[in-house]
Structure 1
């Protein structure tokens, strides 16, 4: 997902405990190694029964550490301290109920609990267990206590088919989502990780809308929904309650885990859901790429090709400016952010962008160019852009990954 760097590698310590979900971790190790992270793996005793240390050593290009190494004669420093000091970022995946209980109660019995208690670096937590275990009051209490740890980025378990053949909550979060959280923390390297959006509600729109012409045709655009989704995940990683309204996503649905989503199709659908949700949010990001045109009289049958030109001429109309309409509902304590794609130079676009802020009634407008190489649409595309406010602020974010851009954009807005 991220662009490989030729600079110094980010050091990731991966702690693996004894859930059956551990069998998915070798693929994660391989995935991260290919993205140029330096990985060291630590296996608990129970995890050793599920994964071979040799496999992890080969995939990570580093010796795998096991429980019996904790007090090895070859160690000149206590191993749990050496590992904690070595890492830039930690991941515990899967996190079992036992490891969670030891961690939050300060029980350092075993290598992994010792590392967890000694660690002060950012750590990604990916729980996995049976549904009844996850919903147990003691486990929920321990997990709730863990949310008070300032360095912990928690990814809640997913719902689906579990190893016990039951369907429920308890699956380990997808590897791609764990990697996305890692990329988020990596983009934060200049600043310590903080949950600075706790108790904030953020409403975000993204992706394209589409308007029906007839049974076979529609009007739409190229938006993939990636930028809106990354804004949503970054806000969630920083502690916010997030709702994401979007058109059909052209990206991996695994990356939507943990976000409350509303999928819409038309501009009418979009404005209806926004109106239902807008009153409770602290921040509103209008990132959806709304189709500029619609057909007032859609046809349930397919229109013959020789008649479609006439049909379009008679029924063609512009879609109203949704952000302008929603801004009429804006409260004094809310912050509204609009988005504007442009082509050509920023010098040429600057005047029209400033006019749009006033016209649309938003507090900020982020303008990004879409006619430059490797920029614009799609998850892997990089972006740059300029954030404007109603006065004279103009903040430039240089070309970077979309998740880094999302992170910097949110930081600037909440600052």
Structure 2
């Protein structure tokens, strides 16, 4: 996922082990280099058979490090320690069953296992292996043990066609998702990454709804679904179980990887889906941009242009406030968060926003301007806004990337209810 370039270079140590998925990693290196990251690559012996070290050296602008370099006579300190000290963030992609086993059982046989065991920095894990290997009980037990490591952000392997031509789980997560996880870690600044939403369940809506006018026309809006999706990924990265209900997404589909989701079209679809799910969740983020109007006529014909005004006059109606309706059955232990886009000055919008949070019955309302260049719609846009609660809080989040905004917003909401 491309966002703005980092203000200062972060040191990324990329560990590459011997899965066939290693052939995708040069593209990741190129992608990260273009985003102003300082990258050093470490290849296992098996990974050397799949990709050329010189390719990684050229793409990363740094010499590629090999297993045989671990005890080189030119090193003044042990190489695995020097690399751990250099790195701000570690990525292991792909992670094989063998390396996973060595890591969690304390077997430091080799440079990459030694780095993994010595490292205390945040580490992003992207497994890749055959489906039967992934589902093996020992591998699953090892992976489960890895979840107890506080500095580890694990991305589950994807489903699809594998190198063995089988269809199943085991593909390496998409490069864009790995980069998104990296941007998420960086958004913590000096704060440690923590899985502070473990055992929490979060329902998030996003994207636009669409209402049929006739066989050829519909009513909708510009929402891309990016903000809701990034809220979903951030919540998942922080340990929550997440479901994302959304309209048609106008963003990179790779960024949906790992998210349990359900696509809707109309406002009726949306409220039905929420009602079916809402009772099971601790948090509800109503980020969907619902069309304010609909036509209560299910015509299968295209209305002639000279009759469209009459069609509107007879069948036009407002869509009910979905958040207000859902809030009427809100449980005491649930936290509901609404979203409100506005134009014009914040000072002029403030009173309207304060009224809305009461009317909608939610605990928090996040208001963001959409009439400023470079802000608003789309995953590449930046955003800012103000988080209100039902009392007197007005917390401003300065203009930033949407992944950073999603992270800051969730942090503020969690801290506000402790």
Please give the alpha-carbon distance, in whole angstroms, between the structure 2 residues aligned to 1:190 and 1:346: 30
SS at match of 2:62: coil
Q: Distance between the aligned counterparts of 1:346 and 1:212, measured in 2?
A: 33
- The Cα shift of 1:310 comes to 1.0
The equivalent residue for 1:3 is 4
Alpha-carbon distance between aligned partners in 2 of 1:12 and 1:299, rounded to the nearest angstrom? 57
1:358 is matched with 358
Distance in 1 of aligned mates of 2:171 and 2:85: 30
Counterpart for residue 65 of structure 1 = 65
Matched ranges for 1:7-406 at <5 A: 7-406=7-406
The alignment partner of 2:275 has SS state of helix
- Partner SS state of residue 302, structure 2: coil
User: SS state of the match for residue 311, structure 2?
Assistant: helix
4+ aligned runs moved over 4 Å, structure 1: none
Output the CA distance in 1 between the equivalents of 2:190 and 2:315: 53
1:211-231 CA deviation, whole Å, 9 max, x = no partner? 001111000000000000000
Q: How many residues in Structure 1 have an aligned counterpart in Structure 2?
A: 414
> How far does the alpha carbon of each residue in 1:262-292 deviate from its partner, in whole angstroms, 9 at most, with x for none?
1000000000000011001111000000000
Which shifted more, 185-194 or 52-61? 185-194
Q: CA deviation at 1:190?
A: 2.5
Q: TM-score, normalised by structure 1?
A: 0.99
Shift in Å at residue 299 of structure 1? 1.2
- Could you report, residue by residue, the CA deviation over 1:347-392 in whole angstroms, capped at 9, with x for unpaired residues? 0000010000000000000000000110010000000000000110
Unaligned runs of 5+ in 2: none
CA distance in 2, matches of 1:125, 1:347: 44
Q: Matches of 1:277 and 1:62 in 2, distance apart?
A: 50
Q: Residue 298 of structure 1: CA displacement?
A: 2.6
CA–CA distance in 2 between the matches of 1:8 and 1:155? Answer: 26
CA distance in 1 between partners of 2:151 and 2:212 (Å):
47
**Shift of residue 306, structure 1, vs aligned partner:** 1.6
Cα separation, 2, equivalents of 1:316 and 1:149 = 56
Deviation of 1:329 (Å): 1.1
Q: Give 1:305 shift.
A: 1.6
SS in 1 for 2:221: coil
Report deviation, 1:162.
0.2
Alignment partners' CA distance in 1, 2:118 and 2:190: 23
Cα deviations by residue, 1:81-100 (Å, 9 ceiling, x for unpaired): 00011000000000000000
SS in 2 for 1:101: helix
| SS of 1:289 mapped into structure 2 | coil
- How much does 1:8 deviate? 2.4
Q: Which runs of 5+ in 1 are unaligned?
A: none
CA distance in 1, matches of 2:52, 2:379: 34
**C-alpha RMSD over aligned residues:** 0.6
SS of equivalent residue, structure 1 residue 356: helix
Query: Using the alignment, how far apart are the partners of 2:294 and 2:88 within structure 1?
Result: 50
Which whole-Å CA distance do the structure 1 matches of 2:99 and 2:204 have between them? 35
Deviations 1:19-62 (A, max 9, x none): 00000000000000000011000000000000100000000000
1:124-144 superposed Cα distances (whole Å, 9 cap, x missing partner): 000000000000000000000
SS at match of 2:176: helix
- For residue 142 of structure 1, give the secondary structure of its aligned residue in structure 2: helix
The TM-score, its normalising length taken from structure 2, stands at 0.98
Query: How far has the Cα of 1:313 moved from its partner?
Result: 1.2
- Cα distance in structure 2, aligned partners of 1:136 and 1:304: 62
Tell me how far apart the structure 2 counterparts of residues 69 and 208 of structure 1 sit (CA, whole Å): 53
